[in-house]
Amino acid sequence: MESIYKITYVLQVLAFSVLIYHLGISLFGLYKHKNKKYDDIEDKTFALVVAAHNEEVVIEQIVESLKHLDYKRELYDIFVIADNCNDSTAQIAREAGALVCERFDGSKRGKGYALEWMFSKIFQMEKKYDAVVVFDADNLASKNFLTAMNDKLKEGYKVVQGYLDSKNPHDSWITESYSIAFWSNNRLFQLARNNLGLSNQIGGTGFCIDTKTLKELGWGATCLTEDLEFTCKLVMNGHRVGWAHDAVIYDEKPITLKQSWNQRKRWMQGFADVASRFFFKLLKKSIKERNWTAFDCALYTIQPYITILTGICVLLTAFQFVDRAHIVTIASIVDGISKEYMIGLQIFAIFQFLFTPMVMAIDKKISKKLLLYFALYSSNVLLSGQLFAYLRDKQHLDNFEVTMLVAIAGIAFLLSIIAIIYIIHSKHLAKLFVWYLIYGLYVLTWFPITIQAIIDKNNKEWSHTKHTRGISINELENINKESVA
């Protein structure tokens, strides 16, 4: 038992250190600079590239969305790559007004290969473009998308990532979890790094690349996570990816756990592959050049292994809980400390819980009344702490018995809040409250997914996610307004 205790302690310190690093950076995402305007610089021309494989249900909506951007129509063209399609994707895209390029290559399957093929064609065209923008077929773009990208290119960035949002956040607890993850990532990871002058991460869609830079470096990103691969390539060559917080791209999130599992497994397979090729190179660059951007990027590539580290910590802690040892081993450090300090730790726990919903409320992704109920629920941390101390000191129960009683009281408190929301407001708001709380379950699934992905790291078969959410950008904007009303 003593050896398990020591191992748990070491692993928790490592996981806690990574948590503090990311939490510290995320604080810089709380503010947002005003966009700079460069009216004295000529507007950029764009080639908008939509990668599509059997996307006849949604391809028309993305083309229509791009046709009606608030940007001079003569300054951009829309290209659709009908990649190994055996449906009506190409025909529908042409009828919608896109320039369609059909590709058939069974030996080189996947978005990375399709983009590399299309970029080569663009380089050879008589008409020249200042930049290329990449979209997925299920996307919709905000009307100001190119205007925001244009401003960032004028600012001097060679690669810019847009804000990744969701077309269907409230379809299921899985889509809600995806949306929470992306909303928090946009502000606490991407915007924070932009404010600090670090490199952002390309998100797979809705990103813009200066054509000359793309031609000089070459695409060459054909793994399962071509976006991460190209980001590492950029950082290795001294570039930083910019962030356009107002350039919004909506995409369709998987509805079922099975669909989500397959997609996230593919992501983690790609991460493991990229980490094996770039982690030590980036780490060496960060040490040799004292380059924080390279270090931050290196740390990001090993997310699968950090996930496994965190998962092992949870399992070891659970084992000790069953054995009636410390529930959190690292908490043994604070045994015997002052009551005031313990209250401080509880307040920190409340802050950590409310931090993400607060940020989502700032970005108008959840309503203020839902944030209020999260704040009410978070008070359970203080209440349960007081109850724990009372039962242990006054009733002379052991930690395991006290924990069980406190857990029962916590469940009763939670059910009361859900009932209040349902009665006073609506079933929909109560559902969103519950879905946010079970977001933790979604997070936990990353552990088995990551293990499976690392085992299958060398299996690079592309897994296609079927898209069915065929709605227009105007319909989507109306739905989003109603969601935060």
pLDDT in tens, 201-226: 999 899 999 999 999 988 877 677 78
Under 8 Å between Cβ of 177 and 435: yes
100-127, pLDDT tens digit by residue? 999 998 788 888 889 999 999 999 999 9
Cα–Cα distance, 268 to 280 (Å, whole number): 18
Please, what is the average pLDDT of the chain? Answer: 86
So what's the pLDDT on residue 339? 58
What is each CA distance from 11 to 111, 300, 319, 349, 445, in whole angstroms?
37, 18, 14, 20, 20
Threshold 0.85, pTM exceeds: yes
Is residue 230's pLDDT more than 80? Answer: yes
Cα–Cα distance, 56 to 229 (Å, whole number): 29
Cα–Cα distance, 231 to 211 (Å, whole number): 16
Under 8 Å between Cβ of 131 and 210: yes
**What H or E segment, with its residue span, contains residue 93?**
helix 89-96
Residue written as tokens 């307040």?
347
Cα–Cα distance, 142 to 223 (Å, whole number): 29
131-188, pLDDT tens digit by residue? 999 999 999 999 999 999 999 999 999 999 999 999 999 999 999 999 999 999 999 9
Is residue 441's pLDDT more than 80? Answer: yes
| Residue 483 pLDDT class (50, 70, 90 cuts) | low
So what's the pLDDT on residue 181? 94
348-402, pLDDT tens digit by residue? 788 888 988 999 999 889 999 999 999 999 988 888 877 777 777 766 777 677 7
| Residue 311 pLDDT class (50, 70, 90 cuts) | confident
Q: Where are the beta strands (DSSP E) in 87-178?
A: 99-103, 131-136, 140-141, 159-166
69-90, pLDDT tens digit by residue? 999 999 999 999 999 999 999 9
What is each CA distance from 137 to 52, 89, 204, in whole angstroms?
5, 10, 12
Is residue 254's pLDDT more than 50? Answer: yes
DSSP one-letter code for 190: I
Burial per residue of 157-192, b for 16 or more beta-carbon CB atoms within 10 angstroms, e otherwise: bbbbbbbbbbbbbebbbbbbbbbbbbbbbbbbbbbb
Q: List CB contacts of 23: < 8 A, sequence separation 6 or more.
A: 352
So what's the pLDDT on residue 126? 92
So what's the pLDDT on residue 259? 92
For 45-257, the fitting CATH number among 3.40.50.1000, 3.50.50.60, 3.40.50.300, 3.90.550.10 is 3.90.550.10
φ and ψ at residue 127, rounded to 5 degrees: -80, 135
Q: How far apart are the first and last CA of the chain?
A: 53
- Helices 303-322 & 257-289 angle (0-180, nearest 10): 110
So what's the pLDDT on residue 395? 66
